[in-house]
Amino acid sequence: MPSPGQKLAKSGSGAWPRRRAIVAAIAALVLLPIEASDAGWLSDVFKGSSKPAKSPRHMASPKRATLAKPAAAPKLHTVKLAALGPFVLPASKPVATCDPAKFRIVLDVGHTAESEGAISARNVAEFAFNLRLAQRIEEKLKAEGFAETRLLVTGGKARPSLVRRVATANNLQANLLLSIHHDSVPDSFLENWEFEGKKSHFSDRFSGYSVFVSQDNPDFKTSLLFAELVAKEMQAQGLQYARQYTQPIMGRNQHPLLNKETGVYSYNKLIVLKSTRMPAVLLEAGSIINRDEELIMNSPERQNILASGVATAAKEFCDSRWAMLGPL
Ligand SMILES: [Zn+2]
Q: Which residues contact 19 (CB under 8 A, 6 or more apart)?
A: none
Q: Give the chain's mean pLDDT.
A: 77
Q: How far is the CA of 182 from the centre of ligand 1 (A)?
A: 6
Distance 100 CA to ligand 1 centre (A): 28
Compute, in degrees rounded to 10, the torsion defined by CA atoms 89, 82, 326, 64: 90
Q: How far is the CA of 199 from the centre of ligand 1 (A)?
A: 22
The amino acid occupying position 47 is: K
Contact 133/296 with Cβ under 8 angstroms?
A: no
Please tell me the distance from the alpha carbon of residue 282 to that of residue 165, in angstroms, as a whole number. 13
Residue pLDDT, tens place only, 195-248: 999 999 999 999 999 999 999 999 999 999 999 999 999 999 999 999 999 999
CB-proximal residues (5 Å) to ion ligand 1? 110, 117, 181
What pLDDT does 322 receive?
A: 55
Q: Per mean pLDDT, which of 6-15, 29-38, 123-132 is the most reliable?
A: 123-132
pLDDT bracket for residue 97 (50, 70, 90): low
Average pLDDT over residues 106-131: 98
Ligand 1 centroid–CA 130 distance in Å is 8
**Inter-CA distances, 218 with 51, 56, 126, 225, 279, Å:** 27, 21, 29, 14, 8
Question: Is residue 22 scored above 60 in pLDDT?
Answer: no
CA of 118 to the centre of ligand 1 (A): 6
pLDDT (0 to 100) of residue 319:
82
Q: Which of 29-33, 76-80, 227-231 has the highest mean pLDDT?
A: 227-231
Average pLDDT (275-280) is 98
Query: What distance in angstroms lies between residue 120's CA and the mean position of ligand 1's atoms?
Result: 11
Query: How many CA atoms lie within 13 Å of 36's alpha carbon, on the beta-carbon side?
Result: 12
Sorting pLDDT into bands at 50, 70 and 90, what band is 98?
A: confident
Q: How far is the CA of 154 from the centre of ligand 1 (A)?
A: 13
Ligand 1 center to 105 CA (angstroms): 19
In terms of phi and psi (left: phi > 0; alpha: psi -120 to 50; beta: otherwise), the region of 228 is alpha
Of 16-30, 35-49, 114-128, which range is least confident?
A: 35-49
Higher local confidence (pLDDT), 13 or 283: 283
Cα 17 to the center of its chain, rounded Å: 44
CA distances from 268 to 79, 214, 227, 317 (A): 37, 4, 14, 22
State the pLDDT confidence band at 323, using cuts at 50, 70 and 90. Answer: low
Q: 264 forms bridges with which residues in the sheet?
A: 211, 259
Q: What are phi and psi of 144, to 5 degrees?
A: -90, 5
Q: DSSP letters along 103-167, please?
A: --EEEEE-S-SSS---B-TTS-BHHHHHHHHHHHHHHHHHHTT-TT-EEE---S-HHHHHHHHHH
Task: Find the 110 Cα to ligand 1 centroid distance in Å.
Answer: 6
Q: Model confidence at 145, in pLDDT bands (50, 70, 90)? A: very high
The mean per-residue pLDDT over the stretch 30-51 comes to 29
Rounded to the nearest angstrom, the distance between the alpha carbon of 107 and the centre of ligand 1 is: 14
Residues 181 and 81: their CA atoms lie apart, in Å, by 40
Q: Please, are residues 288 and 124 in contact by the beta-carbon 8 Å criterion?
A: yes
The pair phi, psi for residue 133, each rounded to 5°, is -70, -40
Going by pLDDT thresholds of 50, 70 and 90, the confidence category of residue 320 is: confident
- Residue 126 and residue 134: Cα distance in Å, rounded? 12
Higher-confidence residue: 139 or 62? 139
Estimate to the nearest angstrom the gap between the alpha carbon of 226 and the chain centroid: 3
Distance 2 CA to ligand 1 centre (A): 70
Please, which pLDDT band fits residue 158 given cuts at 50, 70 and 90? Answer: very high
CA 219 to chain centre: 9
Other Cβ atoms closer than 10 A to 306: 25
* Residue (of 222, 207, 206) closest to 280 by Cα position: 222
The number of helix segments (H) and strand segments (E) in the chain equals 10, 9
The better pLDDT of the pair 142, 74 is held by 142
